[in-house]
Amino acid sequence: MLTIALLIYIILLVSFQQISFASNTISISTTHSLKDGDTIVSSGGIFEMGFFSPTGSQNRYVGIWYKQMQPIPTVVWVANRDTPLTNTSSGVLKIINPGRLALVDGSNTSNIIWCTNTSRSVENPVAKLLDSGNLVVIDANDDNPESFMWQSFDHPTDTHLPGMKLGQNFATGLRITISAWKMENDPATGEYKGSLDNTGYPQIILRKGSKKTYRSGPWNGLQWIGLEKWGLYAEISVVINSSEVTTGCMGLNSSKLIRLVLTSSGIVQLHIGADETGKWNSFPAAPVDGCDKYGLCGAYGSCDNNKNPICGCVDKFSPRYPVAWESSDFSGGCVRRTPLKNCQNGSSSSSDGFKKYPGIKLPDTEFSTVNTSMNLQECRQVCLKNCSCMAYSSLDISNGENGCLLWFGDLIDITVLPQKGQDLYIRMAPSDSDYPSSSKGNKTKTKKLTTSVLVGILVLSLTLTLSIILYRRRRKEIHLKLEWEQEQTLFEISTIIRATHNFSLNNKIGEGGYGPVYKGVLDDGKEIAVKRLSKTSKQGLGEFKNEVNSIARLQHRNLVKLLGWCIQGDDKMLIYEYMPNKSLDSYIFDNRRSALLDWPKRFNIINGIARGLMYLHQDSRLKIIHRDLKTSNILLDIDMNPKISDFGLARSIELNEIGANTNRVAGTLGYMSPEYAGHGIFSIKSDVFSFGVLVLEIVSGKRNRGFSHHQDHYENLLGHAWKFYRDGRSIELVEDHLAEPQDLPQLLRSIQVGLLCVQHCPEDRPNMSSIVHMLTNDVQLPIPKEPGFFTEKRVIESNSSDKEKSCSINEVTISVLYPR
Ligand SMILES: *[C@@H]1O[C@H](CO)[C@@H](O)[C@H](O)[C@H]1NC(C)=O
Ligand SMILES: *[C@@H]1O[C@H](CO)[C@@H](O)[C@H](O)[C@H]1NC(C)=O
Ligand SMILES: *[C@@H]1O[C@H](CO)[C@@H](O)[C@H](O)[C@H]1NC(C)=O
Ligand SMILES: *[C@@H]1O[C@H](CO)[C@@H](O)[C@H](O)[C@H]1NC(C)=O
C-alpha cells in the first residue's frame, strides 16, 4: 500500500516537474517570448499565465489564473479580452521596444494584436508574474523592485485581487475600474462596471452602461456599508487625499485566497479559497437584496428590506405620486409634507432646522462635500447657511464622530439599516425639525437657552404689537390669519413661461371652467398650477386685480391657496399652489383608484369640504358663494386632504357676462340646485345643494349625472338615494368596498346629511355650520324631504313650469348675496 502511494506521489511529482519543464519560461524578455502552450508560473506557484480558451469557445486569450485550481482554470485577468486570437496557436507574447509587452501574430510578428503602454524606454525590460497575480514589466537593471513600468493590476478585467487598487491617482491620471465579462464564456468588456466614484465623497458604484445599479455607502472610517462581507475576509484599505482616491484589500490570512468578481450579470461575487483543492466558497457581496437596487425608492424614499412594500418615505415626507406609489412604482420618490420656507444663502438666521434619522445607509454622495476637521455642530451650522445643503452627517465614526459630510440637492438611495447605519440629519421646515441637544458643555447650552428665551420674548412682543395695531385697524378681522397681507404676488410673465415651458401641452393638467390649467415649476423648484383664464372675460385690469386680491386673502386649509397672478395683455393668469393628487373625481369615479380612498379618508374629505365651504359662506370677510362646487373642483393634497378650488371666480370673472345675459348660468349640470338651474337664483343654499350631491357621490362612487340603474334608468343618483333612504335600505347606496361594519353609522349619517342638503326647497336645506355640526356630532337629524331634480325629466318640467312644487322664493332672494 505504502509503496503504491509513494509511487503515485513520485509520478505526480515527476509530471508536475515535467509541466514545469515544458513551460520553463519564468519571465518574458527581449530574448524570451511566450508561445501558445507555454506558461509562466509565479514564484510562489500560486498563479500561472498563458494562453487559454473559455469553455465552449475557440478564441485564444492570454490570461492569468490560479495554478492550483485546475483542471478548469479560474481566470483572474485577460490581456486581449476585446481582441481574441481567432486562429488557434499562432499567438506569441513578447517584449517589443521600448519596453512594451505585446501579443503578436505568430505568423506575422509585425501584426500587434494587443500591447501595453509605457512612457519609459529602458535597456533591459522584463515581464514577470508576481505571486499576487500581478503581471509586471520592470527594468531588469533597476534595483528598485517596486518600480514597475507597467502592471496588470492597473488594468484589471473583472476580478479584484488583494493588492490591487480601485480608484484614481490624480498625479498619473490613472483610473482603475473593473468591468465584467460580456458573457460567462466571453471575456470581452461587458456592460457592467465597478468603480470607486469620487465625484463627491467616494463610494463604490456599479454601473450598467452609464446607469447606476448599486452603490455602497460612503466609507465611514470602518467599512464600506453594504460590503461588510468583503471587510470580514480582507483588510480594507482606503486612501483619500489630494493625490489619490483609492480602495483595495489585503487578504487577512495569506493561506486563504480571496477574490472579488463582477459577474456578467452585474453581481459582485466574493470567493474565498477554503483550501488548495480547487474549491471556492462563493457568495454574492453586492447587490444582495431589494434595497441594494440603486435609487429604488426615488428621492427621499427610504428602503427597508423588512417591510412590505420595501419602499417608504423618510419621516415627514409623502409619496410624490401616491397612485403610482400604491402600484409599486416608487421612482417618483417623496416630497416634504411641510415645504421649506424661502431660505437666504449665508444668513445664519435661516428658520430651517434638521431632523435626525438614525440607522441609515447614507444617501448618494455624488453631490456632496466634506470637511474632515469640522465636528457635527460646525457641520450643522455650515449646512444651515447654505440653502442648497439638504443634509449632513459625520464623516468618520471609527473613533467617535468626526468630520462633516454635506449633501446638496435631493437625497437619493437611502436604506434603513438599524444596526449598521449612521445618523443622517435632514434639513426640515421648523415645524418638522427636532433640536437634538447634542451641544457639549453647559456653556453652549445656557447660551442657547438665553438666546432662545430672548428670541422668544422678541417674537412675543412683536406679535403683540402687531396684534394691537391690527386689532385697532380691523377689530372684526383679528381672527383672520396674519399671513395674507404679504402673500399675494405679481408674477412676471417670463417666470410663468419658464415654469410652464411656454404653456407646453405636456404641462397642461386640466381644463377648468375658466380655462386651461398648467403645471409649472418655479426656478426654486416650487411647483405651481397656472390657471389661464379664458380671454372672453371683459373685466378691466384694476377690477381684476381687486378681485384677485380679495380671493387671495381667503385662507383656509380646505381652500386651494392662490399664490398670485400674472397679467400680460389680455392674458390673465392665476397662480395656485400645486396639488399633486389631482381632483376628487379622478379617484372616486375610477375603478382602480377608488380603492385608494377608504371610508375614513372619504369622511375626512367630506368634512374638509364642509369646513372650507363654511369658511367661504360665513367666516371669511367676503362671504363667497362658490356656484360651481363639484368633484373636479375638489383637489387633494399629499395627505388626501380636500382643497376647494375655483372659489370666488364666479363673482369676479363670470358675473359680468351673466349681468349681460341672465340666461347664462355658471355651474355644472348635476350639481345645480333647481332654483339656480331654473331661475338663475343662487344663494349659499345652492352651494349646499351641490355639497349634498358631492356627499352622495362620495358615498356611492357614482356620478349624479349619468347615473343609471337598470330598473328605472331615468332616475338620477339623488332620486335613487332618496328611495333607498325612504325604504330603509340606504346601505345599498354605499360603494361595496366602503361597507365596513364599524363605519356604517358614519356612512348612514352622511347619506342622511347629503339628502338634507339636496332637498327641493332651499329653506329646507341646512346651512354649512349646521352641516359641519351634524356630520361630526351624534345629534338627531331631521328627516329629509324629496330631493330637487328627482328625475332628469323633471328638470325640464321644473325649468318650464315650477308651479307643481314651489318654494318661497322670497326666502331665497333674501340670501342672494350678489344680485345684479
Ligand atoms: C498610451 O499612453 C498615452 C499617454 O499616456 C495615451 O495617449 C495613449 O492613448 C495610450 N495608448 C494605449 C493603447 O493605451
Ligand atoms: C489562517 O488560516 C489557517 C487555516 O485555515 C488557520 O489555522 C489560522 O488560524 C488562520 N490565521 C488567522 C490569523 O486567521
Ligand atoms: C452652497 O454650496 C454649494 C456646493 O458646495 C456651492 O456651490 C454654493 O456656492 C454654496 N452657496 C453659498 C451661498 O455658499
Ligand atoms: C474645514 O473646516 C475648518 C474649520 O471650520 C476650516 O478652517 C477649513 O478651512 C475647512 N476646510 C475646507 C477644505 O473647507
pLDDT 10s digits, 803-814: 445 665 443 333
Residue range 154-191, pLDDT digits in tens: 999 999 999 999 999 999 899 999 999 999 999 999 99
pLDDT number for residue 175? 96
Give the alpha-carbon dihedral of 182, 184, 186, 190, to 10 degrees.
10
What's the alpha-carbon Rg for the chain, to the nearest Å?
A: 38
Residue 650 pLDDT exceeds 90: no
Residue 693 pLDDT exceeds 90: yes
pLDDT number for residue 594? 87
Q: Among residues 628, 637, 646, 687, which one is catalytic? A: 628
pLDDT number for residue 505? 85
pLDDT number for residue 706? 67
Selection from 228, 225, 178, 173 nearest residue 201 by Cα: 225
The cell for 241 is: 487625499
Residue range 253-292, pLDDT digits in tens: 666 789 999 999 999 999 988 565 667 888 889 998 999 9
Share of the chain above pLDDT 90, in %: 41
pLDDT number for residue 311? 95
Selection from 594, 589, 585, 593 nearest residue 632 by Cα: 585
pLDDT number for residue 276? 58
**71 cis-preceded (ω within 30 degrees of 0):** yes
Residue 444 pLDDT exceeds 50: no
* Nearest alpha carbon, ligand 2 atom 1: 253
Residue 201 pLDDT exceeds 60: yes
| Average pLDDT of the segment spanning 540-554 | 74
Cα–Cα dist 763/771, whole Å = 14
Q: Specify the ligand 3 atom closest to the Cα of 408.
A: 4
Q: Specify the ligand 3 atom closest to the Cα of 345.
A: 13
Whose grid coordinates read 342638503? 757
Report residue 797's pLDDT band, with 50, 70 and 90 as the boundaries. very low
Cα–Cα dist 453/456, whole Å = 5
| Average pLDDT of the segment spanning 44-71 | 88
Residue 394: is it exposed, middle or buried by C-beta count within 10 angstroms (0-12/13-18/19+)?
A: buried
When mean pLDDT is compared over 105-119, 191-205, 474-488, the highest value belongs to 191-205
Report residue 792's pLDDT band, with 50, 70 and 90 as the boundaries. very low
The cell for 477 is: 378681522
Side-chain half-sphere CA neighbours of 297 within 13 A = 30
91-96/34-35 β-pairing: antiparallel
* Ordered structural domains, the chain, with CATH: 1-155 (2.90.10.10), 156-288 (2.90.10), 292-432 (no CATH), 470-577 (3.30.200.20), 585-817 (1.10.510.10)
In the chain, count H helices and then E strands. 19, 42
Residue range 599-617, pLDDT digits in tens: 999 999 999 999 999 988 8
Residues 319, 325 contacting (CB under 8 angstroms): yes
Enclosing H/E stretch for 794: helix 792-800
Residue 436 pLDDT exceeds 80: no
- How does DSSP assign 723-740, residue by residue? HHHHTT-GGGGS-GGG--
Report residue 357's pLDDT band, with 50, 70 and 90 as the boundaries. very high
Report residue 459's pLDDT band, with 50, 70 and 90 as the boundaries. low
Is 628 in the active site? Answer: yes
| Average pLDDT of the segment spanning 612-630 | 84
Report residue 215's pLDDT band, with 50, 70 and 90 as the boundaries. very high
Cα–Cα dist 454/86, whole Å = 82
Report residue 656's pLDDT band, with 50, 70 and 90 as the boundaries. very low
pLDDT number for residue 548? 78
Whose grid coordinates read 466571453? 186
Residue 405, C-beta contacts closer than 8 angstroms, at least 6 positions apart:
201, 218, 362, 365, 368, 369, 370, 379, 392, 393, 394, 395
In 3-state terms, what secondary structure has residue 196?
A: strand
- Which of 388, 390, 404, 405 to mutate to test ligand 3, by most ligand atoms within 8 A of the CB atom? 388
Instruction: Establish whether residue 386 lines the binding site of ligand 3, counting it when its CB lies within 6 angstroms of any ligand atom.
Output: yes
In 3-state terms, what secondary structure has residue 265?
A: coil
Selection from 384, 365, 364 nearest residue 374 by Cα: 384
515-521/527-533 β-pairing: antiparallel
| Average pLDDT of the segment spanning 325-330 | 90
Residue 323 pLDDT exceeds 70: yes
Report residue 409's pLDDT band, with 50, 70 and 90 as the boundaries. very high
Residues 643, 634 contacting (CB under 8 angstroms): yes
Residues 174, 150 contacting (CB under 8 angstroms): no
Residue 802 pLDDT exceeds 70: no
Which ligand places an atom closest to the C-alpha of 389? 3
Cα–Cα dist 620/201, whole Å = 53
Average of per-residue pLDDT values in the chain: 81
Report residue 335's pLDDT band, with 50, 70 and 90 as the boundaries. very high
pLDDT number for residue 451? 52
* Nearest alpha carbon, ligand 2 atom 9: 253
pLDDT number for residue 12? 42
- Which of 232, 254, 255, 258 to mutate to test ligand 2, by most ligand atoms within 8 A of the CB atom? 255
Cα–Cα dist 633/422, whole Å = 45
pLDDT number for residue 21? 37
- Which of 235, 250, 252, 253 to mutate to test ligand 2, by most ligand atoms within 8 A of the CB atom? 253
Residue 592 pLDDT exceeds 70: yes
Its sign, for the CA torsion 343, 348, 354, 356, is: positive
| Average pLDDT of the segment spanning 569-585 | 86
Ligand 3 centroid to Cα of residue 385, in Å, is 9
Cα–Cα dist 337/319, whole Å = 9
Selection from 328, 302, 296, 304 nearest residue 314 by Cα: 302
The residue among 552 and 503 whose pLDDT is bigger is 503
pLDDT number for residue 37? 87
In 3-state terms, what secondary structure has residue 755?
A: helix
| Average pLDDT of the segment spanning 398-413 | 92
Residue range 62-100, pLDDT digits in tens: 999 998 766 678 899 999 999 999 865 589 999 987 789
pTM: 0.58
Q: Specify the ligand 2 atom closest to the Cα of 253.
A: 1
Whose grid coordinates read 374629505? 605
Cα–Cα dist 336/301, whole Å = 11
Instruction: Establish whether residue 253 lines the binding site of ligand 2, counting it when its CB lies within 6 angstroms of any ligand atom.
Output: yes
| Average pLDDT of the segment spanning 446-473 | 52
Exposure letters 576-605 (e unless 16+ CB within 10 A, then b): bbbbbbbbbebbbbeeebbebbebebbbeb
